[in-house]
Structure 1
Amino acid sequence: MKDEDYSQRKGVADEPNWQEFVQGLGGGELVAPLIARQGVKNADFLFRQARVVAELKVLETEFLDTESIRQKVADAYARHVGADPDDQGSPLRRELLGIIRAPLQRIINKANRQIKETKQELGLVGWRGIIIIVNDGFRGLPPGFVMGLIASILDGKSYSSTDGFIYQTNHYVELPDNPYAVLLWAPLYDSKAGDDLVHFVNELGRNWRIFSEAKDGPYDYSGEQETIDLASALVVTCPGRQRRYTGDE
């Protein structure tokens, strides 16, 4: 990781940039102009060639009381100094789950309904659904914790209109086997998702990297990893590494 303080930097993953990206390099279009009937709770994007409907959710925008949740997370850390939120038996983890699970589940439920209504309204039979979840500033939530919680929510209820998620951070993350601070793009798929959907999401991620680097780059690192040890991933909070680098020198 370079000497630059990446805790003070952020990416470009927000709604205006996503709209610009989808209509350009992303190869998709906005759903709203296609909906004629009033009252339809539609998703944000569709990609005709891949037969995919996608809904973008930015956590800070979607949480009903962002500042209250942020303060509760900070208070939980203050009560459990030094605790690891990725430790399954940690009191901190249990407290964070109590704070975040219900709001995150509401977001996922809403997104699934929007994807479902869009498919029904536009007659998109056989199309797949993707929920894009952007974490734009909840730095108290490590990537492994959020991905594990999303997986748990998926396992606990049937989301018939959703075939996968993309978890994207707008803040930098430290990985144990990568010397660079990175912006995370981490997909998670339902068991019914096919290889073609995985290929589409991977290509979408590559094009997003090109788009975002043109706006915010150049980046120190623009590689891909087939697997990521999210259990040991940390949000960057200072100029140096928080844990020892375990990759090749």
Structure 2
Amino acid sequence: MTTSANIYSPSDLADACALVCFGCQPRLRPVGVPRYRDLLQRYRMDGPFRDAADAAADGLDLDVIEAHQTEGLILHPREGSWLSYRLKDHPKLGVTDRLVLGLAHVAIAARVYPTPADLEEQGVKRVSLAEVDDFLRRLTDRLREAAVDADGLTVAHPELQAAWRVYARLPSSRPTATGRLSESSTQRVIREALDWLVEQGMAYRADDLGAGQYRLAHRFRVQVREAAASAAFAVLCDLRRAHLAEED
């Protein structure tokens, strides 16, 4: 038990660290792990224990974003944290691959959550390889236009500009002799981005809806909300909203 507002017993600290450890396993859900479920409930109800868990996360360069009853403890690594994922750390990706994969990640978020209201909506979103690819294909001309301002000066989004130029040169879907998507196709890159989200507990394959279909979890929406200040995300959201307005 907690002995005062600021002093924790060894048992309290062990429990707080255990909860953070559970949160570091994003595919783990509290509904199937009684101890995780109990610690999560304690975090939600017990202020001093919550402070202890937040401190444990802080020591690992993590921010506690939410304690969700279904999704569990949602953690977000700080920029530069040893736990943060950076495309440049991927051992198999060259510069071109990183550009296109990064664009795919941002495009998935911008297509599904183009407005602040979308980022607050609790409903489950669905997305497919073809939809994300089509979204980027149709916006290639808009991205080209967005690369300059009203005075014809280049807008300072060099990585975004480089990414869509590479993307536009790649084929959409090029099946191999075995029926798999070619390494040089954009839908293969999008699949890699979505499969990474699955590994991180942010998406689920939705084979019941057809090939290449995914459902996006609440955890993904929360992480996108934390990163919504990204310049590239803002540009793609602006273009997505303009496209939706034209469809209406």
Give the shorter-chain TM-score range.
under 0.3
Larger Rg belongs to: 2
TM-score by length of 2: 0.28
TM-score by length of 1: 0.28
> Which protein has the bigger strand share?
1
